[in-house]
Chain A
Amino acid sequence: MADKRKSLIKIKPKKYKDGEVVKVSFMVMHPMDTGMGKNKKTKKIIPAKYIDSVKFFYNGKEITNMKVWESLSVNPVFTTYMKINGKGKLTVKYTDNTGEAHEKTKKIKPKG
Chain B
Amino acid sequence: MQRRDFFKKLGTAAAVTAVIPAMSFADDAKPVSPNKMDFQTAVNAITGGKTPKPSKKVKLKVPEIAENGAVVPVTVEVDSPMTQSNYVKAIHILSGKNSNARCIDVFLTPANGKAMFATRIKLGGTQNVTALVELSDGEFLTASQSVKVTIGGCG
Contacts and interface: CB of A to CB of B under 8 A. Distances in A.
B41 interface: no
Interface residues of A, number: 37
A68 interface: yes
Contact of A83 (B25, B100, B113): B113
Interface in B19-49: 22, 25-26, 29, 31-35
Nearest to A63: B111
B22 A64 contact: no
Contacts of B72: 73
Contacts of A25: 118
A21 B70 CA distance: 31
Interface stretch (A3-11, A34-42, A100-108): A34-42
Contacts of A73: 70-72, 119-122, 153
Interface range on chain B (Cβ under 8 Å from partner): 35 or more
A76 B72 CA distance: 11
A71 B100 contact: yes
Contact of A21 (B29, B104, B108, B114): B114
Nearest to B69: A73
Contact of A81 (B22, B112, B122): B112
Interface in B75-132: 95, 98-100, 102-109, 111-123
B129 to A, nearest CB: 11
Contacts of B31: 35-38, 45
A69 B103 contact: yes
Contacts of B32: 35-36
A64 B103 contact: no
Contacts of A21: 113-114
A82 B107 contact: no
Given A21-B113, A73-B71, A74-B70, A43 B26 contact: yes
B151 interface: no
Interface of A: 21, 25, 32, 34-38, 43-45, 48, 58, 61-74, 76-83, 85, 97
What are the 10 closest A-B residue pairs judged by CB atoms, nearest first? A83-B113, A21-B113, A81-B114, A79-B118, A36-B31, A73-B120, A43-B26, A67-B105, A65-B107, A37-B155
